[in-house]
Amino acid sequence: MKGNFKKITLLLLMLCLITSNTLSVQVQAAKANGSKERPYSAYKSRVVDIYGARYYGKAKIKLIDYKDGKEALKYLKKNGVKKKPKGSKEYVYLKFKVEYIYGEELIPADLIITPYSSFFDSECDIQLKAKEVKCKDGIPDLIEASMYPGEIVICKQAILVDSNSLPITYGIFGYDNNGEKTETWFTTEK
């Protein structure tokens, strides 16, 4: 009798473990791609809605180059940055391809990704207090690049961030048809 009780208890325990693991996997699968929990890869093109004070249209965005740490320092030094980061700071260099696929007017690229509020730590939790770094590589910064519908721009952003924030994430924020805030998240993790 004692042997059967132990077997039944063990079977029930295993059933509970299997059920809880299955439920956990199902809950994770139910979360949409592009969420904080499952950000999109920044290296694949994604179509996003463009919002400022109102709806401006749609754009396709893709991160085409990302450098951090020593690689970013070496690149930025070649392109006019003279200071080495101090303490636990690192440079990050991001280069984007942005295609304005639908809209009616000229817009700046920083309407899509705002250098002052779009960048976050690797967990999409803490907004980075990123310091903008001027880089003279011939590619316009996000705040300098503008485009008309149908145009494609290559633009960049160089920033100084805390080392423990890497790899960084960024969010593109907007609103749905009901006026509710929307967020689309991207990770620079390779």
CATH value at residue 64: 2.60.40.1240
Same structural domain for residues 7 and 95?
A: no
Cis amide bond preceding 167, omega within 30: yes
Distance CA 151, CA 112 (A): 14
Chain segment 22-42, per-residue pLDDT in tens: 333 444 444 559 999 999 999
Taking 60 as the threshold, does the pLDDT of residue 5 lie above it? no
Please compute the mean of the pLDDT values over residues 120-126 and round it to a whole number: 95
Report in angstroms the alpha-carbon separations of 95 from 2, 49, 55: 67, 20, 25
Residue 10: its pLDDT value, please? 44
Distance CA 28, CA 23 (A): 9
Same structural domain for residues 8 and 75?
A: no
**Quick one: pLDDT band at residue 106, thresholds 50, 70, 90?**
very high
* Domain span at 2: 1-30
Domains in the chain, number: 2
Same structural domain for residues 36 and 13?
A: no
Same structural domain for residues 26 and 56?
A: no
Same structural domain for residues 56 and 23?
A: no
Q: Pick from 25, 30, 43: which is nearest to 187 by CA?
A: 43
pTM: 0.81
| Averaged confidence pLDDT in the chain | 86
Same structural domain for residues 16 and 50?
A: no
Same structural domain for residues 17 and 65?
A: no
Same structural domain for residues 173 and 148?
A: yes
Lowest mean pLDDT among 48-52, 96-100, 123-127: 48-52
Chain segment 152-161, per-residue pLDDT in tens: 999 999 999 9
Same structural domain for residues 85 and 135?
A: yes
